[in-house]
Amino acid sequence: MIHFEPESDRALFTSALQFAQEQVRNLVEKHPGFYPMYTSDGVWKHEGPAWTHWCDGFFPGMMWIFRKHFEPGTPDEKYWLEQAIRYSTPLESRKHDRDVHDLGFIFLSTYLRWFRLTKDPALNDVIIQAGKTLAMRFKEKGGYLRSFVADNSLFVDIMMNVGIIFYAARETNDRRLRDIALRHCLTTRRVLVRGDGSTAHEGLFDTDTGEFLKQTTHQGFRGDSCWSRGLAWSLYGFATSYEYSRDPRFLDTSEMCADYYITHANADGVPPWDFNAPSESRKQVDTSAAAIAASGLLRLSRLLHDPVKGHFYWSTGLRILQTLCEKHLADKTPGWEGVLKGGVYHVHKGLGVNESVMWGEYFFIEALDHALSVVG
């Protein structure tokens, strides 16, 4: 398998990573202690609502990645380490947060990186507790982790969080936790992933019987459409679940989602915000879905047994990154505080549409880091 990007890609990706560091450093200095979510006209701090509190790990998560790119003990490495710790520490109490289904987003981007660096068992305990807390959302009838909106609701987004339950199960040798994680993945695969590899955002259940009722959506165009970010969450999340469980059904599902993404995204690798949105609305892309898909494809490429397909996913991930760097970087827009333009949070609520969004920034940086680390 050829895991190599030409010099020009390396220069492009390195320069994007440097720009991201400048933008994050500027925000830290402008609003110390502020956790950004989505921009309004390119500005992070505004009065717009959050809808739900799921993003606080992404800003420090970027800092943990930045520090890896400097020699230990150098001023830049010390700066990013100090900031990463400063912004990660206040998140600890969220390990008991029962209001969100997003504890994987919050802790795998921060405490897991911190623990891997220091091997401090107290940090691992935080991640394990967060995994146990997330598992409390499990609905025995139906076999799924409930979303933040209601008992009868399953979101495709939870596929990005279930990894923390697999992690906690592995660290504590807890078969019940592993079973919850496996059953959640199998239910999501059965009710939200369609035969063509597209995904629904939400599934609704009868809570008395556990019967699955219908596919619906909050952030997508329609219940029977394919919201592009949901698809990207599924692509990435099933790859992660395969890494933890080695259940080949999850690898198949991730590949199906990847193939749907690749065959339906625009030719440059960036998708419309919903693959089934009507023509005018389809012009609105979602660069955050592209960043998640790029990172997911790079990850998936390492897991495949077929080197040709693995190389195809790897190359496609790089191609998406090239497009994001060449067409969507905010470096030519004076005053824009984000890194990537053209992200979308919630079209129907009018939140963060054609803006920078924190998860888009994070997964873009994660994917750049992954691409660059392969060749050093």
Residues at the contact surface with ligand GLY, assessed by CB under 6 A: 54, 157, 219, 229
DSSP type of residue 278: -
- Give min distance, CB of 155 to ligand GLY, in A: 7
Pick between residue 246 and residue 349 the one whose CB is nearest to ligand GLY: 349
Shortest spacing between CB 220 and ligand GLY, in angstroms: 10
The residue among 163 and 310 lying less far from ligand GLY, judged by its C-beta, is: 163
**Smallest separation, CB 41 to ligand GLY (Å):** 20
Strands (E), 39-167: 138-139, 144-145, 153-155
Residues 228 and 200: beta-carbon distance below 8 Å = no
If we measure between CA atoms, which residue out of 270, 271, 276 comes closest to residue 226?
Answer: 276
Q: CB within 8 A of 19, min separation 6: which ones? A: 329, 330, 331, 339
- Nearer CB in complex with ligand GLY: 56/157: 157
Mutual angle of helices 163-172 and 121-135, in 10-degree steps: 120
Kindly report the number of other CB atoms within 10 A of residue 344's CB atom.
26
Encoding tokens for residue 368? 């750049």
Q: 3-state secondary structure string, 45-74?
A: CCCCCCCCCCCCCHHHHHHHHHHHCCCCCC
Rounded to a whole number of angstroms, the minimum distance from the CB of residue 300 to ligand GLY is: 19
Residue number with CB closer to ligand GLY (66 or 364): 364
Which residue in the shown chain puts its C-beta closest to ligand GLY? 157
Q: Which is nearer to ligand GLY, 54 or 238 (CB)?
A: 54
Task: For 282, list phi and psi in degrees, rounded to 5.
Answer: -60, -20
Helices and strands of the chain, counted as H and E runs:
14, 7
CB of 152 to ligand GLY, least distance (A): 18
Give 114 or 148: the residue with its C-beta nearer to ligand GLY: 148
Task: For the CB of residue 363, give the shortest distance to ligand GLY in the complex, in Å.
Answer: 11
Q: For residue 263, what is the DSSP state?
A: H
Q: Which is nearer to ligand GLY, 157 or 355 (CB)?
A: 157
